[in-house]
Every structure is written in structure tokens, then in C-alpha cells.
Structure 1
């Protein structure tokens, strides 16, 4: 006997059985990828572990010590057993003062590394565990500090207004970020310099030269966080800081973000694969470790489904966004992130000349809101169809803000009328913030009153997209996610599993692999 179907829920009347099936399929698709991540490591995971253990700084050529040390260990004994056993064995048995001293000698090729066995291996692992645990304790303290400051200064009401700065000069970014916060921004995102995601190292120190963005470095993180704390105290509300944990150094940037109390990180499961041609296996290994770090640090992640709609049609490919959101949710929760840290992404990217384009946008936005009711969704403004007509662009952004208000989005990225034309001026940002403030002030509570007609255009479209997403996930379940990515399922980008940048930095774990950071983040060892 079949149990009766539970009643339809929400304003769209989504079928709970269909929603449950969608999540079950996402889990089926995602599990083999998680197992792949569990059985491999990467050079960036190992470097992140050393950063958690306290290794910082760079040599006279600007190459980080973590790169020097991991590369030398890899050349000497490989990384199949992880970097920690050979490194802490060398520290125990050699004349080196600390990790930095060892890294300097390793760069000079004067260290003879080995993979210790037996009691020597246990002693090295214990020493590594102690060092990494100290780093995670710092992250725990920074998380507690955030909680205290939010309690002291207060949280802004939803939706949070998210604004980008991107001058290339961290000190100019600070001026613009503080001005934006005073103008009403709740979240400041510092865009990275073009191409940083393809660097297999994290630059060192404060930077004043970047192209279309500012380099993500630990010092830049520290400087911006201090500046936003200053303006938060002035305004009486906690202003959040965002950067990007993506690219070839995803785990390291996640570690640095936790150590310097960033609040959000762009951290999509497939963005680097699709839009930066980074090896898929490298990306999935790195994103799992980075998300475990974000979970520990209390950092809210933002995913990148909006990018699919810049390369594929926003109506025809709407179901790929929903499928990706479900996969991102599965990967995030498996890594320990709760609903409250899942800033799943979507965007207002339908061609405005298409009939009923605004109704279609509302359908897609409402579907995301009802599928993920407890997630702080990040709603992205139009970019693909911005033509340089600033008046039309300003109107489109007003409609975007209205759609966000009507559908209860959590994080609104401020749309610029000069998007894709020039790097916005401060005056452009001021006008954009006025647009947001007007819409939210006049219509911010309309979600309470707005209900699409049952069985009407908006509801039918939302049901159609969900059904297509389920069909797509069923297809991917049969083929495997790596094969689906290789054949251009998402964003129209074909990325084979054995291709892409950084593939040579992926290593299969050997029996006896040890990484105390992985163990502590998995919960296999006490904090």
C-alpha cells in the first residue's frame, strides 16, 4: 500500500516527493566524487596544512615557504603519505629551529627527507597534530571573536547588501569599502586580480598592483578586516568581508580566511573546472578540504551557479542551475556546512527582450527560495544583457532588486549600470546603492503579499524547471558527474576529467597517509 503524498508546500505548491527525489539523486551523484576526494590529496591541501601549522612568509624571490617545502618533499619522497610525516620527522631528527628554517634548508636542497615508519612515524604524526591543532585553535578563536562582535555591533536586517570593490590597490580598496559601508553596504567583496586563480601559490604581503582586482593575500585580508571592523564600530552594525576560495590555491586561501576572520568566501564546487579549466579531480579534492575549513571557521560560502547563465541561455539552462545548487548543497553538507552557511547562487540573467522575462525570473527565484528555505541565497544582478545603455541598465537593476524583494532573497549583490562597460566609479556605486535602498524601502516587505496564482504561469514554470533538474540528475547518476562535466552539461563547458590545469598536483593517498588537519576537520580526532 502506498503512503499518501504529503501536501504541497510553499507558494509554488512544490511536490515534496519530487523535492526529496531531487536531493536523493544529488547525493547519489555526489558520493563517488566525495570518495574520490577522500582517497586523494593535492599540493594545495598539503600546503594549507603547513599554513595551519604556522609556516608563513616567502623567500627573497617571493615564493612562499610552503611551496618550497612541499615541492622539495614531493621531489624527494613523494606526497602519497602526506607532507607531515617527512617534515616533522626532519624537524625531530635534524638541527632545524622551526618550519621556516627547515623550509629554507629544503629550498637549498640540504635536507634528506624520508617517510618514517613505526615509532618514528607516530612521533612525527603526534608533533604535526600538535602544530596543526594550534592553528585550528586560532580559527576557533577568530570565529568566537566574530560572534562577539556581531553581538556587540548587531547584524543588519536581511537582505544583506553585497557590494564589490576591485581597484587593484588594497589601500584604495579600503577607502572605497569604508565609503560603501557608510552608504549602506553590509557585505564587501574584494575581487581578486585577474588570473590569480591560475597561480599555484599565494602571493605574499600587501599588494598595490592588480588587474581588475586585488590579490588575495593574508596581509590584504588582515588590512581589510581591520578597516571593516573600524567602520562597523562607527556604524553600529557588523560589516562582512568576502573573498574567493577558488582556483589552484583554494585550500590555502580558505585557511588564511579562517585565520584572518573573513566572513564569506566564494566557494563553488565546479566554478574552477568550468570557467578556469582547472583539473576536475584537483578541484573536487581541494573544495572538500576548503569547505571543511569554512565549516570550522563559521564562514558562509557563496556558490557560482550565476556564472552558468553568462555562457548558456538563462531559460533553456535554468534546470542546470537547480541541479548544480542541489549538488553544491550535498557537497557542502557532507563537508560539515549547515544550511545557515550555504549561500547558494543564482542570477537575474534572462534576456529582457524576451516576453514575460520578469515572470520567468520570479519563477526561477521563487524555486530556489522554496527548495532551500533555510539557506542565505545570493542573488546576482544582470550582466550578460547589459549593453552600455546606463539608463536601461539602471532600470534592469531596479527590476532585479524588486525580484529579490518579492522572493525573499537573502544577499543582494548591488548591480551597477556600468556593468561590463567600465570599472564602476564611486558615483556609480552610490547610485546603485540608492536604487537598492529605494526598492527595499518601498517594497521590501512585498514578499508577504506576493503569491503567484496556483497553476499559473510562474508556478508552472517553477515545476517545469524542477522536473527538468530531476531528469538531468537521473542522467548524471547513470553517467557519473565527471563524465557529465566532460560533455558540457554545465555552462556549455567541456572539461574532461584528465585535462585542465593543476592535474600534476593531484596525488592518490597511499596506505599510511597522515594529515592531522584532515583528521581534525573530519572529527576523527579530538579538537
Structure 2
């Protein structure tokens, strides 16, 4: 039963337009690769570690290899043919050995042809398939643990952030949060990591307002949450960020270390980190293929639009972005159950009927995407530093979440925009959520907005505005819409932004066994 009685012709038209708007961008993504996609592929093939002797700091071996291939013979045919050809030519035992020889200036990469190319492609395919088998085992292990330990007893799942900068301290906070009731732990990345064109190596203890996303940090936190999951009697999920210039690599590392959710939005990096649009769309397509294989729920970032644009006037841009994110995700192989579309409680509380407007927007998202695990974000823009008012506002946010059947509830903090929350702040915030869930968790069965009332009319108005905007985007092109500031008021031209020099048009004969195996589901 639906509460909004949305017109199926209107929702069908919205999805049709979203598909048409996305198609040219999908074609562009299919026709290009990036340095990050090539690095992610070699990571699946087994390359690990870093050059610790470099005078400017550690350089991951995978960066060393891909950068040298690009310099010597280009990436138009991909990285695996030159890499695995060189591996055979020099009789080396691993890609890491190849990287060491590359750093020593002992390798001259070339694009093989004929039988040499066939041998290199076969060896690469075997290596990448081995990496994907690790991803598959991790997915099966997650399913096994969920079956054994159980999921949280009710939705929404409670999502809590840790952000100390030190992975060991993160572990302490994460485990205590799980004991206090958190179902999902999100480890915030160090400020600025999304703009690094490499993934740091090893455990880290010096992040800024967050902890670096590294493979070792992923491993440490997943192991700690596995232990606390047994203690609390439910599987506690782990979230990080597959975004920025290393989006595909971090997606691969998440699959290799059994993370459960990843923030992965199709336009966030473009709008809020000024990363080149083409680079972002190419990278997100590959990363979503990896997430689909790994069974990782992605979280999209529409909530961010409402921190820069007005949450009432721009509500329809959130719906448009959700529809585009859905289309990009489906094309990359992500099913609805892994599509954690984002939206947020960001209307100015001084606006008349602000709570009714929030309910309309949340219900629209819920009914437009009935099978998606929606991620509902708390108020941030209008938190003033008055912790008592903030605590009340978060209570209203939690109530909206249970009333409208949200799936993932990020815990709001009364000290938002004041300090990095203390453990005591988190404890109070969790108490707020648990009170609302206990007192009103089943209230949705009694909630029936009037068919001719304010909430239903507002939801249908926003959907109609979304259709109108999608029609304009189909006519003008999505890249132009982004350039003109349609989403979040951020103007990002297609030829601008960071990382544009890392985009490469594929040549005839381009080879990437990771893409082939992911698309084929093998």
C-alpha cells in the first residue's frame, strides 16, 4: 500500500527521462579509462605495497607501474598488457617485483601484439580472477556471519560516525558505539584524502578530522567489528568512502577486506571536490561494478545538495539525482537492494510547516524507490550551536525517519558545527534515536496522510518539478546541466576540475579483464 498514490505514468516518465539523460554519459564512461581504473585493475591482479625509499614520501607500487606504463607506451590499450608482458619478458615472479624493477629503471614497457598479447592477456585474466575470488569469498563470509549472528531487529539501521584520525582510537570508539546500539560504523576519511591521486599504505595514526582510508586500516577495523559483532549478537557493518581520485581503487580494497557499505555518489566528487566530471563518471562506473560483485551497499550523496541550495526550492534536484544515481547503478549491475540513495532533513526549522515538508520529501523518496535501502541524513545546515535546540531537531529527524520507513539513519549530533563530537555526545545522540525507535518505531502503521492534504500535494509537486528538470537535462545534456550549477548550485564544466589529465580514451584493442569479468559476472 502506498501513502502518496503516485501516478505510475509520471514515475515511469521520470525513469525514462533519467535513462535518456544518463545514456550519453554512460557511453562516455565506456569509451574511456583512467589511471585510477588501471591501478584498481592491477590491485585486483595482486600488486601491493609501496616504494618506501622515495625522497618525497612513500609511493604505492601500483602508482609507480601505471605512471611508467603511461609515460613509456600510453594507457590507451590498458595497463595489463604492458605489465604482464614485461612480467614474462623479465621472468619476474610477481607484480610487486615488477614494480621494484620499474622503480630501478630496469623495465621498458611496450604494448605486445600477436601471441605475446594473447599470453599477457591470459595471465592477466588469471590474476584478476584470483582477486575477484577473494571478493566473492568475502561476500559469502558476510552472508554466513549475518545468518549466524543476525541483523539488527528493526529498521532503520543506526549509522554512527567515528573520526579520530588514529585507526587504533577509531577501533575503541567503534566497538563502544556498537555496544551502545550502533548497527553501522562509518570511518570518516582524513580531510583532503579524496584529492590524493594515490592510496596511502599501512595503518595510520595522523589523519585530520578523520582517518586515512587504507587497506590495512580496513582490515583492522573489520576484524575489530567482527569481534564485537559476536559480543553484541548482531552483525555490525562497516562503511568507508569510495569517492575522489582513487574511487575505483578504494572500491577494490573494500571488496578485498569485506567492507559492507561505501559512500559512492555519481556526482558528489564533481560538485563538492571539483574533480573532473569525465574522470568521475568513468571511475564511478567501474567502482559500482566492483560494489555489485562484493555485495556492498552504496550510499549516495544527495544530502549535500541541500547544504548549499535551499532545501525547499531545490528538493526536486535531489529527486532527479536519485533517479540518475539509480540508472547509473543499474547499468553497472547494482540491484535495488544495494542502492542506498541519500536524502536529508535540511529544511530551515523556521519555515512554516517545515516538518510536514520533510515528511513529504522523505515519503516521496521511500515510495519512488521502495526496494532501496534509503539513507536518511540528519540536520546540519541549520544547527546553530544551541545544543538543546539541536537535540530537539534531531529528535524530529529521528521521528521522520521511523514515520516514513527509512532504512539507514545517520545519527545526528547536537554538537554539529561546534566541535568534533565527544563520546558523551554520541551516547546522548544514540539515546535520542533509541527513545524514538522505542516510543514510535511502529507508528508508521497508523500514519495516513490525507489524500488531498499538504503532504501528498507537496510530494507530487516535487515529482512533477523533477520530471520538468529531467526533460531539460535530456534536451541540454547532463554535463551541461552540471556545468550550469543545476545541482547544489555548483558550476563544474566538463573540461575542468582535478584529475582531468588522468582520463584516457580507449584504443581499439583495449584490454581490461577486470571490466570484462565484472560485466560478465564471472
TM-score by length of 1: 0.98
The equivalent residue for 2:391 is 394
The equivalent residue for 1:507 is 504
From 80, 84, 88, give the equivalent of 2:84: 88
From 307, 312, 328, give the equivalent of 1:310: 307
The equivalent residue for 1:177 is 174
Is 2:104 the partner of 1:112? Answer: no
From 337, 341, 366, give the equivalent of 2:338: 341
The equivalent residue for 2:400 is 403
From 6, 14, 17, give the equivalent of 2:9: 17
The equivalent residue for 2:44 is 52
User: In structure 1, how many angstroms separate the alpha carbons of the residues matched to 2:298 and 2:264?
Assistant: 6
The equivalent residue for 1:66 is 62
The equivalent residue for 1:470 is 467
1:275-297 CA deviation, whole Å, 9 max, x = no partner? 00000000000000000000000
The equivalent residue for 2:140 is 144
1:388-425 CA deviation, whole Å, 9 max, x = no partner? 00000000000000000110000000000001110000
Is 2:41 the partner of 1:41? Answer: no
CA positional deviation for 1:109: 2.2
- 1:142 is paired with a residue of what secondary structure? helix
Query: Contact between 1:303 and 1:328, CA under 8 Å: does it hold in 2?
Result: yes
User: In structure 2, how many angstroms separate the alpha carbons of the residues matched to 1:76 and 1:103?
Assistant: 14
CA positional deviation for 1:158: 1.1
The equivalent residue for 2:422 is 425
Kindly report structure 1 stretches of 4+ aligned residues shifted beyond 6 Å. Answer: none
- 1:274 is paired with a residue of what secondary structure? helix
- 2:70 is paired with a residue of what secondary structure? helix
- 1:268 is paired with a residue of what secondary structure? coil
CA positional deviation for 1:95: 3.2
1:451-462 matches, cutoff 5 A? 451-462=448-459
1:201-248 CA deviation, whole Å, 9 max, x = no partner? 000000001111000000000000000000000011000000000000
Gap regions ≥5 residues in structure 1: 1-8
The equivalent residue for 2:268 is 271
CA positional deviation for 1:33: 0.7
CA positional deviation for 1:97: 2.6
1:56-94 CA deviation, whole Å, 9 max, x = no partner? 000113110000000000000000000000011111111
From 89, 95, 99, give the equivalent of 2:95: 99
1:272-322 CA deviation, whole Å, 9 max, x = no partner? 000000000000000000000000000000000000000000000000000
CA positional deviation for 1:335: 0.5
The equivalent residue for 2:289 is 292
Query: Contact between 1:72 and 1:109, CA under 8 Å: does it hold in 2?
Result: no
User: In structure 1, how many angstroms separate the alpha carbons of the residues matched to 2:206 and 2:518?
Assistant: 35
The equivalent residue for 1:4 is none
* Count of aligned pairs between the two proteins: 517
From 126, 133, 137, give the equivalent of 1:130: 126
User: In structure 2, how many angstroms separate the alpha carbons of the residues matched to 1:512 and 1:240?
Assistant: 40
1:332-351 CA deviation, whole Å, 9 max, x = no partner? 01100111000000000000
TM-score by length of 2: 0.98
